[in-house]
Amino acid sequence: MEFLTGVKTQETLEISTLLTGDYEGKEVKINGSVHAIRDMGEVAFVILRKREGLLQCVFEKEFMEFDLKDLKEAATLEAKGVLRKEERAPGGIEIHLKKITVLSQPTEAMPLTISKWKLDTSLDAKLNNRAVSLRNIRERAKFKIQEGLVRGFREFLYQRGFTEIHTPKIGAKGAEGGANLFRFEYFHRPAILEQSPQFYKQMMVGVFDRVFETAPVFRAEKHNTKRHLNEYTSLDFEMGYLDSFEDIMAMETGFLQYAMPLLKRDYERELKILDVTLPKVEQIPMVRFDEAKKMVSEKYNRKMKNPYDLEPEEEQLIGMLFQEEYGADFVFVTHYPSKKRPFYAMDDPKDPTYTLSFDLLFRGLEITTGGQRIHDYRMLREKIAAREMTEEGMEDYLNAFKYGMPPHGGLGIGLERLTMQLLGEENVRETTLFPRDLNRLEP
């Protein structure tokens, strides 16, 4: 009987191993995808793309049995060669090729010149050729940084006693009402795609005290803006036994304080590739909604239109104001008007026209919505009744409260938006692997 005993040691070496090991002058085995070929006459440079970056290989025509003409960009290969130090090569090393084995050949020339430092093509072209455009080093780096943000979120919350949960995306009724739901038939029953794990994570506070989830959410909103997606990854948490709704914002601040050093430590290469300046997270100002509106109106001499909501332009101005006056990249805007928040939001006992809720703005864009929730069964039912909503379909949610729930609250962070603002991108689709919007369902 044959057995598998664990991960096999690979003969081919990765870039970090080549850089840190003692391989100078020695023969090494490598593999990768041909990112670019620069033919200089006697010699050609074959740049291989590997997961850790680019590796320069030197192809000396007179010593190779392989014909350079048979080597195409986008081919994948395995090769042997001798490692030499070379200051001008990426990472300071290059491989003098001795033997090439082609693993696969492309059948057509690339539709985009991915080996350019910046892909100078339209966003649409990038998205239409996603499997190709992401091979560009800068495009790819965005999603490594996105990975770092998700890692930071999870690691930080594990350390803070949160439990990771997996809640269903197919449901019978949504958490925030019916307008923006994708609907379909589930074995002859009407079903929806969940627009948020809201109800589930609240129910699970009664079980685990603190929970989080990193999963897709679905919104059938007909907005087609630079900051809207119809499917996105939501970083959600919910925590019980709050002393105050500020605990939630303090926890999010803690996450950011954990994630930024993590990026600096483990994603330094990608931060450099994209020339990212990490935001300041030592202290994040907190301002009331009505106060923020007033400040912006006064400072920028702007007329307030809608007293109940922040317009995107107002969010930008708040971001600008807090950058100018406090050097702040982030600002918590608190106490949103009750009528603009969902029924489960906890009203401020001092003035129930406002809620114990907040948004977090990052460089002028909302990346988080959160707040304290109603935990008392009667209060919850009263609010549902006051809004003339039906309890139908919410029985399971309400039951959790019937059988006792601690004071709690939480938030949801849009992962793609957070990445977008961190990288200074202009469109959220730039930081979405395969965006879904009003017009885009493929690839």
Residues 304-363 that bind a second copy (CB under 8 A): 326, 332
Which segment (87-95, 106-114, 309-317, 343-351) binds a second copy by CB under 8 A? 106-114
- CA atoms of 176 and 369, how far apart (whole Å): 13
Contacts of a second copy in 33-72 (CB under 8 A): 33-34, 50-52, 72
The two three-digit tokens of residue 234, written as one number: 């939501």
* Closest listed residue to residue 410, CA positions, set 352, 357, 338, 362: 357
Say which DSSP state 181 is in: -
Which residue, 25 or 404, has its beta carbon nearer to a second copy? 404
Per CB under 8 A, 223 contacts a second copy: no
Q: Is 392 in the site for a second copy (CB under 8 A)?
A: no
- Answer yes or no whether residue 241 interacts with a second copy by CB under 8 A: yes
Q: Where are the alpha helices (DSSP H) in 372-414?
A: 377-386, 395-402
**Could you tell me the two tokens for 27?**
């023969």
Among 86, 246, 290, 348, binds a second copy (CB under 8 A): 246
Q: How far apart are CB 332 and a second copy at their closest, in Å? A: 7
Closest to a second copy by CB, 157 or 276: 157
Query: Is residue 189 near a second copy by the rule CB under 8 A?
Result: yes
269 near a second copy, rule: CB under 8 A: no
Size of the site for a second copy (CB under 8 A): 125
Distance between CA atoms of 176 and 397, rounded to whole angstroms? Answer: 13
Q: Beta-carbon neighbour count of residue 294 at 10 Å?
A: 13
Which residue's CB is nearer to a second copy, number 43 or number 286?
A: 286
The answer to whether the beta carbons of residues 118 and 138 sit under 8 Å apart is yes
Pairwise CA distance, residues 215 & 379, whole Å: 30
How far is 376 from 402, CA to CA, in rounded Å?
8
Min. distance of Cβ 217 from a second copy in angstroms? 10
Binding status of residue 404 toward a second copy by CB under 8 A: yes
Q: Is 28 in the site for a second copy (CB under 8 A)?
A: no
Per CB under 8 A, the list member of 8, 265, 303, 350 interacting with a second copy is 8
Of the residues 37, 68, 123, 172, which one makes contact with a second copy according to CB under 8 A: 172
Token pair 């609240």 is found at 202
Among 412, 442, 405, 435, which Cα is nearest to 209's? Answer: 405
* Gap between the Cα atoms of 5 and 83, Å rounded: 32
Helix (H) or strand (E) holding 103: strand 93-104
Check binding of 225 to a second copy (CB under 8 A).
no
Q: Is 405 in the site for a second copy (CB under 8 A)?
A: yes
The reply to whether 107 sits near a second copy by the rule CB under 8 A is yes
Based on the shown chain and the rule CB under 8 A, indicate whether residue 96 belongs to the binding site for a second copy: no
Q: State yes or no: residue 20 binds a second copy (CB under 8 A).
A: no
Token pair 């399971």 is at which residue?
396
Residue reference for tokens 């304080």: 257
Residues 203-222 that bind a second copy (CB under 8 A): 203-204, 206-210, 215-216, 218, 220, 222
Compute the CA torsion angle 146, 148, 150, 155 (nearest 10 deg): 180
Considering beta carbons, is residue 6 or 41 the nearer one to a second copy? 6
One of 25, 92, 161, 424 touching a second copy (CB under 8 A): 161
Which lies closer to a second copy via its Cβ, residue 38 or residue 223?
223
| Dist CA 210 CA 201 (whole Å) | 9
99 binds a second copy (CB under 8 A): no
